[in-house]
Amino acid sequence: MNMMNSKWLGASTPTQRTIITRTQIESFLQGFPPLFRCEASRIPFTYPIVLWQSIYVPWLPSEHDANMIIHGQQSFHYIRDIQYNEELFYQIHLSNIRKKKGSQGVMCLLDCDMILTNSQAHPILHANTTLLLLDKPESIAPFSLEVPHPTSKSLLLPDLPELYDIWNQRSLLLPGSTLIDVCLGTITGDKLHAYAKASRDNNTIHLDAQKAHEFGLPGRVAHGMLILGMIGNMLQGLQTENMKLSGLQCRFHAPIVEGDIVYAKVNVQSVAESQLARNMKSPDESSLENYPSIHCSLEVFIDQRNASLSFNSENKTLAYSGSARYVRV
């Protein structure tokens, strides 16, 4: 597979045209638990990843191949907000092919870029996606359909999410300030199916426990964009008239699977002056790059599997890490 994909290095899909409607967004938001749905008046920050499902990407394996795709890293960098009913154009470009040794041997990593523009070819969004191609391991442990966490623990820690801390949109943001500290709840089969339907991402590792196990995964894997989407929706909800979310980046270190209890925390790291102030120039004022920015760290944890019930952070495993960026306008 690695050799077959090398011929596609530098390739791009044909340019696609699309228009995003409110009806599409209302349908997409049904893929998230109610607490983590942003208002339909705005287009969710992570929605453009859905555009991948509407286009044939020739360098990716089909469902009949011996490889499986898993999300490795994702970033969104907005030049400006996407508007409803505007004419948009996009294509996906394979910018790099890498090899990395993992627990199951050598993996192939595909770095893909999606550029979204308007009808005048002005850029709106740059989204980078890193995909891992997994081979089936030579041997796998005996398979069980049992959800990883025991029932007694699930009863003590129910599916319902819980907000521990959230910024009030009035307090001054300084390094160390908390934007969100939340339990996203327990990953259930219903959540996986709801997001698969809403996003049209029907990768079998999210829906078929047996198939996931064949590739060495401990159970049905949560879509990385389900988790990042919930966080992105919350961060969008914290926008004010003077502060806009412009960037989101996440690296997926470990799979989050059915039965895992998920926690997310976003803290302010730094507050920077504008590019305009640094350069003393007059660049395009429509670009979000030209405004003061607030840089935040993003961490997603899960309870250690088979650990005793505890709210101690030492019993949690870092599953995802990344960053978020706001601009002051």
DSSP string across 273-294: --HHHHHT----TTSGGGS-EE
Neighbouring-strand partners of residue 116: 90, 125
Q: Confirm whether pTM is higher than 0.75.
A: yes
Give the chain's length: 329
Structure tokens at 204: 């079998």
Whole-angstrom distance, CA of residue 24 vs CA of residue 21: 5
- What pLDDT is stored for residue 150 in this prediction? 41
Chain segment 131-178, per-residue pLDDT in tens: 999 888 776 655 555 555 544 444 445 567 899 999 999 999 999 999
Place of tokens 């250690």: 304
Chain segment 268-317, per-residue pLDDT in tens: 999 987 544 444 444 455 565 667 899 999 999 999 766 555 555 568 99
Continuous H helices in the chain:
2-6, 22-29, 151-156, 189-199, 204-207, 209-214, 224-237, 275-279
- Between the alpha carbon of residue 141 and those of residues 4, 137, 138, 149, 210, the distances in Å are 30, 10, 11, 18, 12
244 φ/ψ angles, rounded to the nearest 5 degrees: -120, 140
Domain map of the chain by residue range? 2-137+144-328
- What pLDDT is stored for residue 154 in this prediction? 46
pLDDT beneath 70, residues of the chain: 1-5, 63-64, 66, 102-105, 139-159, 274-290, 305-314
Structure tokens at 121: 């070819």
Q: Is the dihedral of CA 21, 116, 236, 257 positive or negative?
A: positive
Give the domain 2-137+144-328 fold: Thiol Ester Dehydrase; Chain A (3.10.129)
